[in-house]
Structure 1
Amino acid sequence: MTPDIAADIAIDALRLVMLIVMVLITPGLIVGVLVSLFQAATQINEQTMSFLPRLLVTLVAIGLSGYWVSDKLMQYTVNIFQRASQLVG
């Protein structure tokens, strides 16, 4: 196992994690900012108003991107198993 192979695997893993997190977190972040702006404009400080929309949008994002995320994880796993011979030898 050379350090180059290990570094490539680690970089691929970090890229995949960042991509998946961005896909799942970005919609909730956008909705959170919009709700915060609305709360600041109307001076309504209800805690559930800031939490519930973000939760629902995050659940919808998980539901809509679930197949894509599982496909990306499966491709990464297959790639790791294909590189297994290089890692051992």
Structure 2
Amino acid sequence: MDSQQVFDIGQQGLMMLLMIAAPVLLTVLVVGLVISIFQAATQINEATLSFVPKVVAAVAVLAIAGPWMLTMLVDYLRQTLQSIPTVVG
């Protein structure tokens, strides 16, 4: 195994990480921004007001995009495990 193969495997892993994490992270970011603007406009400083909607949004995204995420992860893992003989040998 040469260094180029190691870099390719690492790059594929990082791209998979970004693709899987992006929907949840972006949703929580947008919800947090909206709640922060609301809190700044109304001057309500309640910690649960920002926490609960983020959790609800994250759970909703996981419920909607969860099957896609799981399929992507299983395909990546299957591809990685099947490439072991060609990488090692």
**Pairwise same-fold verdict (TM > 0.5):** yes
Alpha-carbon shift at residue 72 of structure 1 (Å): 0.5
Residue aligning to 1:33: 33
**Cα drift, residue 53 of structure 1:** 0.4
TM-superposed CA distance for 1:3, in Å, is 1.7
**Distance in 2 (alpha carbons) for counterparts of 1:67 and 1:23:** 13
1:48 equivalent in structure 2: 48
Q: Give the deviation of 1:7 after TM superposition.
A: 1.2
Runs of 4+ in 1 over 6 A off after TM superposition: none
Task: Give the Cα separation in 2 of the matches to 1:40 and 1:20.
Answer: 32
What per-residue deviation string (whole Å, max 9, x for no partner) do you get for residues 6-63 of structure 1?
2111100000101111111111110100010001001111111011001100111111
Query: Could you list the runs of 5+ residues in structure 1 that have no partner in the other structure?
Result: none
What SS class does the counterpart of residue 6 from structure 1 fall into? helix
Match of 2:68 in 1: 68
Percent of aligned pairs with the same amino acid: 33
Aligned-pair distance for 1:82? 2.2
Tell me which of the two structures has the higher relative contact order, counting C-alpha pairs closer than 8 angstroms and 6 or more residues apart. 1
TM-score (norm 1): 0.94
C-alpha separation in 1, matches of 2:35 and 2:72: 31
TM-score (norm 2): 0.94
- How many pairs does the alignment contain? 89
